[in-house]
Amino acid sequence: MKQNIYDNPVFFKKYIALRDSGITYNDFVEQPAIKSLISDLTNKSVLDLGCGTGHFSTYCIENGASRVLGVDISKNMIDEATKRNRHQRIEYICSPIEDISLANQTFDVIVSSLAIHYVENYTKLMKKINSALNENGQFIFSTEHPLTTSRKGMNNWILDENGEKMHWALDNYQEEGRRDHTWYVDGVVVYHRTISTLINTLIESGFVLEQVIEPEATVKGLPKLPKLINERRRPSFIIIKAKKQSQHNE
């Protein structure tokens, strides 16, 4: 049974309030990094997996994309997206991203921002994404860094007696699978995968790896959210850019 935490009313309300503040890890760490990896979108068709409220779908249209299909598991999110980011060249579909039925649609660019750690079957998703890309298509995604998801119980900073962060506690790295985290509510389910699984499955699914970013905070973001300095001590996210392997390079 897939978890759909964004349809939990308590979680959803708090999440939307956070995102609307404009002072988040997304604004100052993850989004600048993922956008830096996206090449020219002019006349490109885009699939946005885990589109949330559709801000990224709109970003693609504003940067020249010919059309965007936004997909999200949460009805709350899709409702919000159709209110906030309605556009004649954006279509929204409510579906778990790994179950999306694309018929014969293919895309030039597929992006996924902080959604893939919610998906249990990473291999199936990578194969689906690969087959939904056009020749030379790009796939760019961000996910929680394995350093952040690995420890069972909870990954966290170890504090000294004055409450200062001493170091990050790491454990259980090779034990892939479900982790139950607390984020506004208990029992937010994410899936831990190692760096090697993230990369090797991508390659085995027909991608050529192009670039990896473990982002730090932007210079502008740091004064607004000072705790982002800790991204230097251990990254929260990893962002991967790959392209579909060309058939005749085999």
Instruction: Tell me the closest approach of the beta carbon of residue 11 to its own copies, in angstroms.
Output: 28
User: What sign for the dihedral angle of Cα 117, 118, 120, 123?
Assistant: negative
For the chain, give the longest Cα–Cα distance: 61
Is residue 112 classed exposed, middle or buried when 0-12, 13-18 and 19+ CB atoms within 10 A define those classes?
Answer: buried
Size of the site for its own copies (CB under 8 A): 35
Pick the closest to residue 118 from 168, 44, 190 (CA basis).
190
Check residue 169 for interaction with its own copies (CB under 8 A): yes
Counting Cα atoms < 13 Å in the Cβ hemisphere of 127 gives 6
Site string for its own copies, 200-229 (x = CB under 8 A): x--x----xxxxxxx-x-------------
C-beta of 44 vs 151, nearer to its own copies: 151
What length is written for the chain? 250
Take residue 72 and report the two structure tokens written for it.
């999200």
Kindly tell me which residue out of 106, 194, 224, 225 binds its own copies, with binding defined by CB under 8 A: 194
Stretch that binds its own copies, among 55-63, 68-76, 160-168, 182-190 (CB under 8 A): 160-168
Q: Which residues here bind its own copies, judged by CB under 8 A? A: 147, 151, 158, 166-175, 194-196, 199-200, 203, 208-214, 216, 231-235, 238, 246, 249
